[in-house]
Structure 1
Amino acid sequence: MATNKGVVYTKPGEVEVREIGFPDLVLKDGPGVNPLNVGRKCEHGVILKVIVTNICGSDQHMVRGRTTAPSGLVLGHEITGEVIEVGRDVEFIKKGDLVSVPFNIACGRCRNCKQQDTHICENVNPDRPGSAYGYVDMGGWVGGQSEYVMVPYADFQLLKFPDKDQAMEKILDLTMLSDIFPTGYHGAVSAGVKPGSTVYVAGAGPVGLAAAHAAQILGASVVIVGDLIEERLAQARSFGCETVNLRQHDKLEEQIEQILGIPEVDCAIDAVGFEASEHGEGAGEAPATVLNSIMGATRAGGRLGIPGLYVTGDPGAEDAEAKEGTLKIRFGLGFAKAHTFVTGQTPVMKYHRDLMQAILSGKAQIAKAVNATVISLDDAPAGYKEFDGGVAKKFVIDPHGMLK
């Protein structure tokens, strides 16, 4: 029997690389697995040898202890791999295929999946619509920061790369198709970015940088990125974005006016989520800061794309309301300005094929934009700590040492 190591959340601030058992085409009991999902047969699934898998900012929320994630949860929802075993009911995906795995787990059969709303599949999570690998309250599907992983509903979900050699040459770009590139793109599309748009992106982490690059691809005339960390802002400037250091400047609209000549943008993207901070030197956590600031900085009639994560339970929040996901949002301002808000997980399958083509043609340079940085599986705990410190890198785990 082959062995399998994976990155496991142990306690707030700590992850470990452990033996986790080789995957099977059945969802077994384990940390975080919904009891109603235990024993679920997945003959429609495949086993992948993980070629690359990434550390995501969403993982960091769990590792920081800001969710109800249980100890022992195997992490990882950004997965690219080679098929080594196919279930009895898999018809089109074959052994040897190199594939990208959408982080949303979707059955392809329910009403939402048939409407391309694969982020809110009705059949994969007994608690509520929507699921993901290695994530709290998402049904318990085992994460993919590992050597091998099981992926259900393979024929429906998996994006096969047309040429394996070409894919391996561009693997640092293609690994972003499982989450952050479609997520950033979804944020830009939801915000209504079009040729000539002026765009503000809150947050210069990997999703924010992906959203900024996506806005450029969609034809934005100016993309402004705001963050508290200068190293991340330098990364945004490296591919042509304007930037605002919100630790040095607490009045966002004044900084936008210095760049554009007017104190507002056409549309805005929240790539921060619920662990937001107030602006200015020494400012503390305030989870509604980004939502309120982008309403203030976006023109009347504008759109707000909100791919940043917001949760229903935050045990690490500083006040009782925020602990249950209730935030002090200036909704009246959004109403007065007739803003459109688009929230929720990204339906990856709506975008990943087109974005793959953009990568393969050279149109998209997403690995460069997010500063993709390769580490080994054993180095993942150190990668988590470095990423948590705000480094301007997107860590790509190479479990088998296959990358050049």
Structure 2
Amino acid sequence: MKAVVYEGPRKVTVKAMPDAKIERPTDVLVKITSTNICGSDLHMYEGRTSMETGRILGHENLGVVIEVGSAVVRVKVGDRVCMPFNIGCGFCKNCERGLTGFCLTANPGMAGAAYGFANMGPYSGGQAELLRVPFGDFNCLRLPPDAEEKENDYVLLSDIFPTGWHATVLAGVQPGDSIAIYGAGPVGLMAALSAQIQGASKIMVVDTHRDRLQLAEKLGAIPIDDSDGNSAQRIVEMTGGEGADRGCECVGYQCTCHGREVPNLTMNNLVKAVRPTGGIGVVGVFVPEDPGAQDELAKKGQLAFDFGQLWMKGQHIATGQANVKAYNRKLRDLIAAGKARPSQIISHTLPLGQAPDAYQQFDARNEGWTKVVLKPAG
């Protein structure tokens, strides 16, 4: 099968790899029809993780079931399915509580597993023609009859739509709340869409990329260009001097300011921008260690964080990757009912063979490259 393979820092290739196949009775084999490049893939692409060379990338996947293991009961050949990026077993303590992003079975020794991702288990990614799905009955979300027509919407259920929703849940968004979202990348834009659906009264999205801020405005948010570094003060002013009720961090440890990485910038800005006793949800990726960081603290996975200010304001913070299965059924139904159209942020739909160039363009944050969907079938 053709697949996108990590060959080292800033080098991916599309080449023939052994076909994915059923390995256990609970597996499902999926022919991939859509698979996305995620901002998290760029951490590996840039050589900022321990990703091994020769591995297939891709954790945002959708396709058609072509084979099922002997123990699979619910999923059938011919089903169109979307897979959460995080792999859950369905029966461990965390999965039973709905915390499928922190499965205790799928990746022994660590809470959490994913397709084609560093330190998240041995599972191959789905930027390929075929994907083996472990615990298939649990991990395959079956799609409705309009699955082919709305494929570019449904594929975003694999990660960024649920992750954006998760950011608002962690922050505690309620109808009528004001919310400040740092980051107008795909996840930040999905947080804005989620906040809109949940009835937020004022949605402010902060970034420095003009094209992404334009998309945020298209989604009904107030765009705030932080090129001058005064976004937190402007948010306070725009909320009558109180600060936003809620805040979302959708950037992560590679946040940049004038070309230099400042990993603590968004977190400290949110403490300033959110009102006393407000909530902050953090879904941007922060890692336990980052040897490639420019900042000495960041190399050890640490931040110079304004904890004293957070404490004095009585704010609360919740963090972590999205438990996709906690949200994907309901978000699927919003798409099916025409209440949500996440695909409006997709900038490029390309054949799998163009993946190397797409990675390069997306990694450079070139204007107009917001979200890339790859089509292995052409």
What is the TM-score when the length of structure 2 is the normalising length? Answer: 0.97
**Residue 80 (str. 1) matches residue 62 (str. 2):** yes
Aligned pairs, how many?
376
Q: Deviations over 1:204-237 (max 9, x none)?
A: 1101101111110110111111112111111111
C-alpha contact (below 8 Å) 2:233/2:273 kept by paired residues: no
Of 371, 374, 377, the residue aligned with 1:394 is 371
Q: In the alignment, which residue of structure 1 is the partner of 2:251? A: 272
Counterpart check, 1:216 vs 2:196: yes
Distance 1:336 1:257 in 2: 17
Q: Residue by residue, what CA displacement relative to the aligned partner does 1:249-297 show, whole Å, maximum 9, x if unpaired?
A: 212233224533436111000000010124xxx3521111111110111
One of 1, 11, 16 as aligned partner of 2:13: 16
Q: How does 1:149-164 map to 2 (within 5 A)?
A: 149-163=131-145
Task: Give the Å deviation of 1:389.
Answer: 2.1
Deviation at 1:65, TM superposition (A): 1.4
Name the stretch that deviates more: 213-222 or 310-319. 310-319
Q: Deviations over 1:97-148 (max 9, x none)?
A: 0001011100011111100010110011123110100000011100001110
- Deviation, structure 1 residue 345: 1.0
Question: For residue 225 of structure 2, what is the aligned residue in structure 1?
Answer: 245
Alignment partner, residue 25 of structure 1? 22
Contact 2:3 2:17 in 1 (8 A): yes
User: Which of 93, 98, 120 does residue 116 from structure 1 map onto?
Assistant: 98
3-state DSSP class of the match of 2:362? helix
Amino acid at match of 2:144: P
Q: Percent identity?
A: 41
| Partner Cα separation in structure 2 for residue 257 and residue 109 of structure 1 | 45
Are 1:305 and 2:305 counterparts? no
Residue identity opposite 1:371 in structure 2 = I
CA distance in 2, matches of 1:93, 1:144: 18
Give, as a single letter, the amino acid of the residue that structure 2 aligns with 1:217. Answer: I
For residue 372 of structure 1, report the CA deviation from its aligned partner. Answer: 4.5
CA contact (8 A) 2:33 2:62 kept: yes
Q: Which runs of 4+ in 1 moved over 4 A?
A: none
Q: Assess if the C-alpha contact under 8 Å between 2:4 and 2:355 holds in 1.
A: yes
Q: CA deviation at 1:172?
A: 0.8
TM-superposed deviation, 1:359? 0.4
Residues 168-194 of structure 1: CA deviation (Å, up to 9, x unaligned): 111111010000000000101111112
Output the aligned Cα RMSD.
1.3
Are 2:358 and 1:383 equivalent residues in the alignment? yes
- The one-letter code sitting in structure 2 at the alignment partner of 1:311 is V
The C-alpha deviation readout for 1:46-82, integer Å capped at 9, x for no partner, is 1100010000000011111111112222110001010
SS in 2 for 1:273: coil
What TM-score, normalized by structure 1, do the two folds share?
Answer: 0.90
**Aligned partners of 1:91, 1:240: CA distance in 2, in Å?**
42
Report Cα offsets for 1:301-331 as digits up to 9, x if no partner. Answer: 1111111111112121013331221111112
Looking at structure 2, the residues matched to 397 and 288 of structure 1 have their Cα atoms a distance apart, in angstroms, of: 33
Any unmatched runs of 5+ in structure 1? 27-41
Alignment of 1:47-58 (within 5 A): 47-58=29-40
* CA distance in structure 2 between the partners assigned to 1:206 and 1:262 by the alignment: 29
